[in-house]
Structure 1
Amino acid sequence: MSTLISYAQNFEDIMLWRALSQVEDGCYVDVGAQSPDVDSVSRLFYEHGWRGVHVEPTPHYAGQLRAQRPDEVVLQMAVGERAGILTFFEIEGTGLSTGESLIAAEHRASGFQVNELRVPLVTLDTVLEQVGDRDVHWLKIDVEGAEKQVIDGWQQTARRPWLLVIESTRPLTAEQSHHEWEPAVLAKGYTFAYFDGLNRFYVSEEHPELMPSLAVPPNVFDDFSLSSSSTLCAQVNLAYQALERRGVDEANALHGQIQALHTDADAVRHELQAQLDAARAERDLLEAQIARNDLQHAAMVDGMVMAHNQSLAEFQRLVSQEALALQAELASRTDEAEAGRHTAHKWWLAHEELRRQIQQIHSSRSWQLTRPLRAVRRRLSSGVLTGLKRIVRPVAVHAVRTVFAIPGLKRALKPLIARVPFLYTRLHSVAMQEQLFDQERSNRPPLEGREHDRTTLHMDKRARGVFEDLQRARKEGKAA
């Protein structure tokens, strides 16, 4: 896989890298650097450990360079023939900003918005001195028509970059303009090596060994890839952005559907909660009434016990009076009395067994757990249940249709709903009635056993345990 990515506008970085890849920790000077990423000649070298000096008068791009290249020198100024103050013409968001008023007027006439700035002006001698004692391995000059002024300011310093890359066409045209400044470059000991249609490359006479590496344009043997910001990738980037926007739109639509489902579910939950609160209030009222009835019943029982005791005393008196008379008759009916005793004992045993079974049922956990359910069931009228079903069913049908329309949502919700067998079975029944899946799947048994018919009572595990306890007690009573 290629380790090189070209970020430059016209593969200038690939040409320079072919010539200078053997240099480690090299140094460069980029006059007219613009962005640290888009159309950047220096980024490839920066990623391989090189450092240098950037000259960029535009505040926006100078700020980006300082933020992303904190270990490099960034000069927010222009370069010219002499030091001073320059009226600079900024065209935001482009690489067309210039110090030439005539070129700025052409851009303004073409519809560009041009802003005028006052920026410091230094010479190329001053810029080259910023690298200290290090060699400058390449110098790039891209100043939108002011190349001659930059080169004329290169007079006093003895520093000679190994390679020069100078933009040599008028802005936004293929018209070459190197005849204005090339004689001065050649006079400084440089030899023309290569023209890429936009820039001219020059080699210092101290490094003639670099000439062969600039003999041919970038090609497959340079083993490089294009960056995502390359103009050659514009159609790919547009297609990717359209696909990304489509994915975002679909995700937003799905999110809206889920939100609507949540809203419907919240409405149902609030309605059910209101019904439950009403049932609880009615249960509390019934419990209070039962408590009052218990007190009245206790008073009644006490009165009955007192009356019974009085009756018993009277009965005992009468029994005592007739005891003598009955002894004779009792003696004659001993056999009959014995048979009656056996019969009474049998019924007493049956009574005790039934009482024991009832006590077991009343003391079972299932009976205690279902006590509130029985109370609520007795108090709820058929009209309330019918009204509740009429409210819930349309919402349930809408929710099930929405889930079936979104396979991913169906797969995500099914394990969660399956944890509540009652709810799962009800939703399964709704789906069958609405014919939301084929006959083969409609015949599949729902979770937690078979359904004998649509009137079958569906219970969760706790209610099913209570029901089985009651059935077991009933069978034991019959067996006895």
Structure 2
Amino acid sequence: MTGHRDQWFGGRTYAQHGDDLAVLNIFKRLGIERPSYLDVGAYHPFDLSNTALLYERGSRGINVEPNEAQHALFLKARPDDINLCVGVAPVHGWMTFHHVAADPGRFTFDKATAMTLGIVRSVELPVMRINRIVDQHAGGIWPDLLSIDIEGLDVDVLNSAEFEDHPPRVVIVEADNGSGDTSHELAALMAVKGFVPHSWCGSNMIFVRAADQALIW
């Protein structure tokens, strides 16, 4: 079975919890047919991807993945995107990237998270502030969707993000990676930045601009 002709967004989901379908529904309510995106901790061009379905439907954006082997997959499978092999952190510079005894999607710059999974090896990699990525690769204008899944540093990176000018319309972030639930902290942080919780998709929280609430509900 490949899906029904009347399914608005097709019969396929690439995301872990159907997050891509939920996000596309929000953007349909906002009147945005091909939302741009910034996928931080992108992991894989299709497997467990929040943005693969958007790409398949004509959207384009920026994928950030510090693992060289995973980054190479993006260069091959999603050449029309901007694909960056760099880490994202609250500060610009270098950090230790931990390869762990788990799926490469769990590799992380957060040592505490890595230690719970078993560190196999560690390497020093360049990291950038998220606003610098937006400035250098999106002309200083946030893409419509910010998807972030970086195994333990999600709150710190979002806290460092400056949304004053042209913020994203939708933010999806991992709130529970198995090392602890950060949903209350995320909700408080995003409220200060002008966002409200829209819904949960599995372990991920979806936030929308407070100013867009009336357009979605």
1:76 is displaced (CA, Å) by 1.0
1:192 is displaced (CA, Å) by 1.3
Provide closer, same or farther for how the CA distance between residues 209 and 184 of structure 1 changes in structure 2, counting only shifts above 3 A.
same
* 1:281-330 residue CA offsets vs partner (Å, 9 max, x unmatched): xxxxxxxxxxxxxxxxxxxxxxxxxxxxxxxxxxxxxxxxxxxxxxxxxx
Provide closer, same or farther for how the CA distance between residues 206 and 150 of structure 1 changes in structure 2, counting only shifts above 3 A.
same
Unmatched 5+ stretches in structure 2: none
**Partner of residue 127, structure 1:** 133
**Partner of residue 144, structure 2:** 137
1:61 aligns with 2:70: yes
Whole-angstrom CA distance in 2 between matches of 1:197 and 1:25: 24
- The alignment of Structure 1 onto Structure 2 pairs a total of residues equal to 206
Contact 1:25 1:50 in 2 (8 A): yes
Normalized per residue, the structure richer in strand is 2
1:100 is matched with which residue: 102, 106, 110?
110
**Partner of residue 262, structure 1:** none
Whole-angstrom CA distance in 1 between matches of 2:181 and 2:105: 18
Whole-angstrom CA distance in 2 between matches of 1:199 and 1:39: 12
Whole-angstrom CA distance in 1 between matches of 2:132 and 2:11: 32
Whole-angstrom CA distance in 2 between matches of 1:88 and 1:210: 41
Contact 1:29 1:53 in 2 (8 A): yes
**Partner of residue 205, structure 2:** 200
Runs of 4+ more than 4 Å apart: none
Contact 2:39 2:147 in 1 (8 A): yes
Larger Rg: 1
1:7 is matched with which residue: 5, 14, 18?
14
Counterpart amino acid of residue 85 in structure 2: Q
SS of the residue aligned with 1:82? coil
Provide closer, same or farther for how the CA distance between residues 67 and 179 of structure 1 changes in structure 2, counting only shifts above 3 A.
same
**Partner of residue 19, structure 1:** 26
Q: Give the TM-score, by structure 1 length.
A: 0.41
Provide closer, same or farther for how the CA distance between residues 157 and 59 of structure 1 changes in structure 2, counting only shifts above 3 A.
farther
2:84 is matched with which residue: 71, 75, 81?
75
SS of the residue aligned with 1:102? helix
Provide closer, same or farther for how the CA distance between residues 120 and 135 of structure 1 changes in structure 2, counting only shifts above 3 A.
closer
Whole-angstrom CA distance in 1 between matches of 2:45 and 2:188: 31
2:169 is matched with which residue: 162, 167, 179?
162
Contact 1:81 1:150 in 2 (8 A): yes
Counterpart amino acid of residue 200 in structure 1: M
SS of the residue aligned with 1:155? coil
Whole-angstrom CA distance in 1 between matches of 2:171 and 2:67: 23
1:46 aligns with 2:52: no
Contact 2:93 2:127 in 1 (8 A): yes
* 1:139-184 residue CA offsets vs partner (Å, 9 max, x unmatched): 1110111112211221376231001101001x336x4213344322
Contact 1:162 1:204 in 2 (8 A): yes
Contact 1:31 1:142 in 2 (8 A): yes
* 1:11-67 residue CA offsets vs partner (Å, 9 max, x unmatched): 110100111134233201111100001101111100111000111111111110111
Whole-angstrom CA distance in 2 between matches of 1:51 and 1:44: 11
What are the residue-to-residue correspondences of 1:160-309 with 2, within 5 Å? 160-169=167-176, 171-172=177-178, 175-212=180-217
SS of the residue aligned with 1:85? strand
Provide closer, same or farther for how the CA distance between residues 49 and 82 of structure 1 changes in structure 2, counting only shifts above 3 A.
same
SS of the residue aligned with 1:160? coil
Contact 2:175 2:186 in 1 (8 A): no
SS of the residue aligned with 1:26? coil
Provide closer, same or farther for how the CA distance between residues 135 and 86 of structure 1 changes in structure 2, counting only shifts above 3 A.
closer
Unmatched 5+ stretches in structure 1: 213-480
Provide closer, same or farther for how the CA distance between residues 156 and 209 of structure 1 changes in structure 2, counting only shifts above 3 A.
closer
1:134 is displaced (CA, Å) by 5.8
SS of the residue aligned with 1:88? strand
Contact 2:163 2:193 in 1 (8 A): no
Contact 1:80 1:152 in 2 (8 A): no
Q: Percent identity?
A: 25
Structure number with higher relative contact order (C-alpha < 8 Å, ≥ 6 residues apart): 2
**Partner of residue 155, structure 2:** 148
Whole-angstrom CA distance in 1 between matches of 2:134 and 2:210: 18
Whole-angstrom CA distance in 2 between matches of 1:123 and 1:142: 15
SS of the residue aligned with 1:46? helix
Whole-angstrom CA distance in 2 between matches of 1:133 and 1:152: 18
SS of the residue aligned with 2:105? coil
SS of the residue aligned with 1:119? strand
